[in-house]
């Protein structure tokens, strides 16, 4: 049974013991629209179009795993000097409602949202916004100048949510998913400025 609308979620940093919970979370989504990408020699445009029947996307397990040469993110808190924690949103019964994994790069002061997922039964209840707020707090603590993320063009619900949170389109990659189970989709990049915390 879905939680009540006034449910209060606990946001905390993940530990290694939480790895199983994070890996088991259902990050699939269903959408009645997708963003069609029209490319041109010097740019591209997005056009939201309906899909009938609605499209359901289930992410393959192997797309969630990091390449052996990719530092990626994990569930061991603040890893290393740059930091790559995962933050969890827990429902009152202790179940995992969602998580966000981030990584900070000092050289360009970018906080990357590596992954953010909300369990189906907790969507539309502010969990994603609460997780993103925690990620932004971490970004300000690190002195980030901006926050950046990648999303597939077919994930219209997420794109709309990110735009409501202040993210704007900043790039496109037409080949990122070419040799994966997501072939045919395009990667959209969004970013938003981040005002660093006062470090007096």
Per residue of the chain (200 residues), give pLDDT as tens.
455 567 899 999 999 999 999 999 999 999 999 999 999 999 999 999 999 999 999 988 755 444 444 443 343 444 443 479 999 999 999 999 999 999 999 999 999 999 999 999 999 999 999 999 999 999 999 999 999 999 999 999 999 999 999 999 999 999 999 999 999 999 999 999 998 765 54
- Token pair listed for 132: 């993103």
In angstroms, how far is CA 38 from the centroid of its own chain?
24
d(CA 59, CA 116): 13
**What pLDDT score does 156 carry?**
98
**What pLDDT score does 58 carry?**
95
pTM to 2 decimals? 0.86
Residue 60: CB partners within 8 Å, gap ≥ 6?
180, 181
Residue 139 host element (H or E) = helix 127-142
For 18, which DSSP code? G
């Amino acid at each position: 049974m879905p939680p009540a609308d006034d449910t209060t979620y606990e946001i905390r940093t993940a530990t290694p013991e939480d790895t199983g919970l994070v890996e088991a979370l259902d990050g699939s989504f269903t959408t009645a629209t997708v963003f069609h990408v029209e490319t041109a020699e010097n740019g591209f445009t997005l056009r939201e179009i309906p899909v009938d029947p609605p499209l359901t996307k289930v992410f393959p397990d192997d797309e969630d795993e990091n390449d052996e040469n990719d530092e990626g993110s994990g569930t061991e808190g603040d890893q290393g000097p740059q930091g790559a924690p995962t933050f969890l949103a827990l429902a009152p019964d202790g179940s995992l409602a969602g998580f966000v994994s981030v990584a900070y790069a000092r050289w360009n002061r970018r906080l990357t949202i590596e992954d953010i997922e909300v369990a189906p039964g907790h969507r539309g209840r502010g969990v994603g916004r609460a997780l993103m707020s925690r990620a932004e707090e971490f970004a300000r603590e690190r002195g980030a100048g901006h926050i950046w993320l990648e999303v597939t063009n077919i994930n219209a619900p997420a794109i709309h949510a990110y735009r409501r949170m202040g993210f704007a389109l900043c790039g496109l990659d037409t080949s990122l998913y070419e040799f994966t189970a997501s072939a045919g989709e395009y990667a959209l990049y969004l970013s938003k400025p981040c005002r660093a915390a006062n470090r007096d």
